[in-house]
Amino acid sequence: MRKHHCRCCGRVFCKACTRERAAIPQLNFKSLVRVCDSCSMLLLPGNPSNPFPGTSVGGGGSHDGDGSDEDDDA
C-alpha cells in the first residue's frame, strides 16, 4: 500500500487519510498540498488553534495528480 506524507505535520498516512489539500504559505507551500485529516481540521479558517493563520484548505478526493505531492513513497 502506498503511503503519503502530510505536508503540515510530516507524519505518514494512507491515501484515505490524506484526501484534503491546503496551501500553507508559512511553510513555503503556496499551492494546495496534501495534508492529513487532523491537520486539515486544524488549518480551517477561524480555528483558534490554527498554528498558521491565513492558510486555505481546499477540497480533497478530486486531486488530479499534478505531481506536486506524488513523491511520497515510504
Query: Cell 486531486 maps to which residue?
Result: 63
Query: How far is residue 48's CA from residue 17's CA, in Å, rounded to a whole number?
Result: 23
Per-residue model confidence as pLDDT tens digits over 10-36: 999 998 888 999 999 999 999 999 999
Cβ within 8 Å of residue 43, ≥6 positions away: 8, 22, 24, 35, 50, 52, 55, 57
Tell me the pTM.
0.70
Of the chain, the percentage scoring pLDDT greater than 90 comes to 43
Q: Supply the pLDDT for residue 34.
A: 95
Domains in the chain with CATH codes: 3-58 (3.30.40.10)
